[in-house]
Amino acid sequence: MSKRKLVYPLLAAGMAILLSSCFVLQSFSILATSISPGDRTKAQFVLHPMQRGKMLSGVNIRNRHQFILVGVWNTGQLTIGKATWGTNGRFDGPEAMPVSPDLAQALSDNGVCVQDGLSFEQMFTGGTLTWKGFMTNGTVNDKGKVDVKAIVQVVLRAAGNADAGNYPVYGVTGGWIDEGTAGVDSGDSFYCTGIASSNVFIKNA
């Protein structure tokens, strides 16, 4: 199957109509500035619809899912828990987001997620980060409500024996269009609408 590579529409104006019904990243943050070993906090994505238009009729939007990825250092100091879409009660939320174990590898292999000099492919293949991906259960109708936010929260836990220090956390969001194969793979279509980072401080026990 040939790859259909879609890129962020703000970087490719010709794709703006095609990707008009999707959510873009407004902000990415960690709710707690610091936590103790064994405690938890949440990584938070604030998203909003890109614009009021709809996707072109040639794209099967029923197979389109919103995704998020969270990455932490692979030292085990922080672990990634569950994700919830629409914790603010908007856009069909709150709803648990199923884990997508193949998402990070497929997105890296596809090679389309590059924004503002940040390449997910390079971040993934560097080997220093552990990634966990999540998908919505299906297409989310944004209803063209560009001024309404969708909040997504992902649990982060500090290990009980975590060392004190400042730890980066990375967030990626975008959309996945299932091309009809079994599950997520690099031959599917992806588009990224945000890459960001934040951090959390783990205090002494």
pLDDT tens digits, 59-69: 444 567 899 99
Strands 129-135 and 34-35: unpaired
- Residues across the chain: 205
**182 vs 135, higher pLDDT:** 135
Residue 53 has a pLDDT of 60
DSSP SS3 for 15: helix
* Alpha-carbon span 166 to 99, nearest angstrom: 27
Whether the Cβ atoms of residue 173 and residue 136 lie closer than 8 Å to each other: no
Whether the Cβ atoms of residue 68 and residue 134 lie closer than 8 Å to each other: yes
* Alpha-carbon span 46 to 44, nearest angstrom: 7
Residue 63 has a pLDDT of 62
- For the segment(s) 13-202, the CATH number from 2.30.30, 3.40.30, 2.70.98, 2.60.40 is 2.60.40
* Confidence bin at 144 (pLDDT 50/70/90): confident
Rounded to two decimals, what is the model's pTM?
A: 0.85
pLDDT tens digits, 33-51: 999 999 999 999 999 998 7
Domain boundaries defined on the chain: 13-202
